């Protein structure tokens, strides 16, 4: 059959038969299509066959055929991308070595390399660290490929990558996007060295994107370690976007450091001049206080328990109360009197 549409329709029918004979027919046709001259072959037919063979999910011959086509000179990049995804789906971790070989080839297209790195992200194999570092450190490696490699290295969680990535971060001329990728990767690698670099860039990073990346990565390595550096930065930060990110992270703190985070948010609100940041602080604090609970808030800030329950649903009034000691005293007195009246005259 020469008509592409008819071929794809037949492939669809074979996908419903799901027999060994159907697999045999599809494998043979895929090989036949791949043996044609590139100008005569049809990538849509190849992709349809590959996707159908994936659905069968059986047979080492399929894995071998897919590997051969991936490594074959002249296979279209769109087909290669589908093959990369297929090999991961069929072989899982065992696909890593096959994908690394294709990644290291000089002639492999950029889009195919990105697709390979995406699948290696899912595999998260320690065995990929050395070849990925070798490729990363080559000067000619494309920036987008570098970023994808860094993301993949971060997902392995291997401490082995910390030193070379730190060196790349500090290297003169490193692109901002590459630096941000490194900071993000360090969020997945929980070591003292990664925490040190993230805290340093939180405080010393000259570009706001670097500081925001540090904020987010610090929250990933452990919120308890991040609280003090975040509070310190919030007090001196001038950029509203960085402030909002810090406030968002502090608003998720739980346990022993929750009190410190609450105090920091209240203090930040009291001195903030930008309305957008003030409004975000109110929303964050509202959710934070409700999660903390009325009894804990009442005890910490010396507010009548019934009044506290009201204020937790009105965070702006809560801030007004705790920031004005005179108002807090009056509010407590009024609340006490109202509650006493309710007790003494329950029908009124």
Q: What is the pLDDT of residues 58-98, one digit of tens each?
A: 667 888 899 999 999 889 999 999 999 999 988 888 889 99
- What lies within 8 Å, CB to CB, of 334 at 6+ separation is none
* Other Cβ atoms within 10 Å of 69 Cβ, number: 20
- Looking at the chain, the whole-number percentage of residues with pLDDT higher than 90 is 69
pLDDT of the residue at 202: 95
By mean pLDDT, which of 54-58, 86-90, 152-156, 232-236 is the weakest? 54-58
Which residues are CB-contacts of 258 (< 8 A; sequence separation ≥ 6)?
288, 292
Q: Is the pLDDT of residue 272 over 70?
A: yes
| Cα separation, 170 vs 158, whole angstroms | 20
With a cut of 90, say whether residue 344 has pLDDT above it.
no
Residue 119 and residue 84 in contact, taking contact as beta carbons nearer than 8 Å: yes
Q: What are the Cα distances from residue 108, in Å, to 73, 86, 171, 184, 210? A: 10, 17, 27, 27, 32
DSSP code at position 106: T
Classify residue 108 by its DSSP letter: S
Higher local confidence (pLDDT), 223 or 142? 142
Query: What's the pTM value of the predicted model, to 2 decimals?
Result: 0.85
| C-alpha to C-alpha distance for 230 and 235, rounded to whole angstroms | 9
Confidence of residue 228 (pLDDT cuts 50, 70, 90): very high
Three-class SS state of 99: helix
How far is Cα 294 from Cα 271, in angstroms, rounded to an integer?
25
Query: Measuring CA to CA, which residue among 102, 284, 293 is closest to residue 301?
Result: 293
The string of DSSP codes covering 21-75 is: HHHHHHHHHHHHHHHS-TTTS-HHHHHHHHHHHHHH---HHHHHHHHHHHHSTT-
- Res. 39: pLDDT tops 60: no
Per-residue pLDDT, 341: 84
User: What pLDDT does 36 receive?
Assistant: 77
CA distance between the termini of the chain:
90
Phi-psi region of 124 (alpha: psi -120 to 50; beta: other; left: phi over 0): left
pLDDT at position 11 is 93
| Vertex 56 angle, CA 50 and 62, to 5° | 55
Confidence at residue 241, expressed as pLDDT on a 0 to 100 scale: 97
Q: What is the structure's pLDDT at 44?
A: 92
- Between residues 140 and 203, which one has the greater pLDDT? 203
Task: Return the closest-CA partner of residue 66 out of 46, 87, 81.
Answer: 87
Lowest mean pLDDT among 15-19, 145-149, 222-226, 271-275: 222-226
Sequential DSSP letters for 274-320: -HHHHHHHHHHHHHHHHHH-HHHHHHHHT--HHHHHHHTT-HHHHHH
pLDDT at position 41 is 64
Give the model's confidence band at 40: pLDDT under 50 very low, under 70 low, under 90 confident, else very high.
low
291 Cβ contact list (under 8 Å, min separation 6): 254
pLDDT of 261 strictly over 60: yes
**Which pLDDT does position 38 carry in this prediction?**
56
């Amino acid at each position: 059959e020469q008509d592409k549409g008819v071929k794809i329709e037949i492939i669809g029918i074979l996908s419903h038969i799901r027999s060994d004979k159907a697999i045999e027919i599809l494998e043979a046709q895929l090989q036949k299509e791949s043996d044609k001259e590139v100008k005569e072959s049809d990538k849509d037919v190849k992709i349809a066959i590959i996707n159908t063979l994936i659905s069968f999910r059986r047979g080492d011959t399929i894995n071998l055929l897919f590997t051969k086509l991936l490594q074959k000179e002249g296979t279209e990049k769109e087909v290669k991308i589908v093959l990369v995804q297929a090999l991961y789906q069929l072989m899982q971790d065992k696909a890593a070595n096959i994908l690394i070989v294709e990644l290291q080839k000089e002639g492999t297209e950029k889009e195919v390399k990105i697709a390979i790195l995406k699948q290696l992200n899912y595999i998260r194999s320690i065995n990929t660290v050395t070849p990925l570092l070798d490729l990363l450190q080559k000067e000619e490696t494309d920036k987008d490929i570098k970023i994808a490699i860094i993301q993949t290295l971060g997902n392995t969680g291997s401490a082995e990558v910390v030193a070379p990535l730190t060196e790349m971060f500090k290297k003169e001329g490193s692109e901002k996007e590459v630096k941000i990728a490194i900071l993000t990767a360090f969020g997945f690698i929980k070591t003292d060295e990664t925490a040190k670099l993230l805290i340093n860039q939180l405080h010393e990073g000259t570009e706001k994107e670097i500081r925001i990346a540090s904020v987010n990565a610090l929250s990933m390595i452990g919120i308890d370690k991040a609280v003090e550096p975040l509070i310190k930065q919030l007090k001196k930060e001038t950029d509203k976007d960085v402030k909002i990110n810090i406030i968002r992270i502090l608003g998720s703190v739980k346990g022993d450091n929750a009190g410190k985070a609450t105090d920091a948010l209240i203090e930040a609100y009291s001195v903030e001049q930008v309305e957008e940041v003030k409004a975000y602080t109110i929303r964050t604090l509202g959710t934070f206080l409700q999660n903390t609970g009325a009894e804990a808030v009442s005890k910490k800030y010396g507010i009548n328990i019934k009044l506290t329950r009201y204020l937790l649903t009105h965070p702006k009034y809560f801030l007004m109360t705790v920031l004005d000691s005179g108002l807090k005293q009056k509010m407590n007195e009024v609340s006490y009197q109202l509650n006493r009246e309710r007790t003494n005259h329950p029908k009124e």
